[in-house]
Amino acid sequence: MDSLPATGQADSPAATPADDTPCDRAASAPEHPARLPGFHRLAVTERLQLLRSRGLLTQADHRALTSGAQRLEPAQADKMIENVIGVMGLPVGLGLNFLINGKDYVVPLVVEEPSIVAALSAAAKLVRGCGGFTTASDRPLLIGQVQLTGLAHSGKARTALLQRRDEIINLANSLHPNMVARGGGVADVEVLIHAAPDGGPDMLVLHLLVDTCDAMGANLVNTMCEGVAPLAEAIIGGKACLRILSNLTDRALVRASAVIPAHALAGKGHDGGQVRDGIILANDLALVDPYRAATHNKGVMNGVDAVALATGNDWRALEAAVHAYAARGQGYRALTRWSRNAQGDLVGSIELPLKVGTVGGSLQANPMVAINHRLLGSPGARELAEVMAAVGLAQNFSALRALVTDGIQQGHMTLHARSVALAAGATPPMFEQVVERLLADGEIKLWKAQLIVAELGGQAAPGQAASGHPRAGTQEWAAGHGKVILLGEHAVVYGRHAIAAPLPLAIRARVEDAHDGTTLLIPRWGIEQRLPQQPAHPGSFLQSLTLLLERLGLDRRALRIQVAPEMPRAMGLGGSAALAVAVIRALDRHCALGLDDASVCALAFECETIAHGTPSGIDNTVATHGEALLYRRGEPATIRPLALKQPLPLVIGLSGSESLTARMVARVRQAWRQHPARYERIFDEIDVLTRHALDALQAHDLGELGELMNICQGQLNALQVSSREIEELVQLAREHGALGAKLTGGGGGGAVIALCPDGGARVVRAMRDAGYQALEVSFG
CA distances from 428 to 571, 616, 666, 761, 767 (A): 22, 36, 39, 21, 21
| Catalytic status, residue 314 | yes
Q: How many residues does the chain have?
A: 780
CA distances from 393 to 278, 291, 494 (A): 17, 20, 52
Contact call for residues 57 and 70 (beta carbons, < 8 A)? no
- For residue 311, the one-letter residue type is T
Distance CA 82, CA 360 (A): 20
Distance CA 110, CA 305 (A): 8
Closest CA to 498 of 642, 597, 614: 642
CA distances from 706 to 648, 712, 742 (A): 11, 10, 9
| Catalytic status, residue 680 | no
Give the active site residue among 314, 383, 608, 725.
Answer: 314
Give the active site residue among 263, 298, 537, 625.
Answer: 298
Give the active site residue among 62, 412, 481, 490.
Answer: 412
* DSSP assigned state of 563: E
Rounded to the nearest 10°, the torsion over CA 314, 316, 321, 325 is 140
* DSSP assigned state of 454: H
DSSP string covering 566-610: -S-SSSSSSHHHHHHHHHHHHHHHHHT----HHHHHHHHHHHHHH
Contact call for residues 161 and 206 (beta carbons, < 8 A)? yes
- For residue 421, the one-letter residue type is A
| Catalytic status, residue 298 | yes
What ranges make up the beta strands (E) of 182-262?
185-194, 203-211, 239-245, 253-260
Q: Give the chain's radius of gyration (CA, Å).
A: 31
CA distances from 14 to 7, 271, 319 (A): 7, 18, 34
Distance CA 80, CA 85 (A): 12
Closest CA to 423 of 411, 408, 438, 409: 438
| Catalytic status, residue 445 | no
* DSSP assigned state of 414: H
Contact call for residues 71 and 21 (beta carbons, < 8 A)? no
What ranges make up the beta strands (E) of 618-772?
629-632, 638-641, 648-654, 740-744, 751-755
Q: Which residues, listed in sequence order, are joined to residue 470 by a DSSP beta bridge?
A: 464
Give the active site residue among 104, 113, 319, 441.
Answer: 113
Give me the active site residues, please.
113, 298, 314, 412
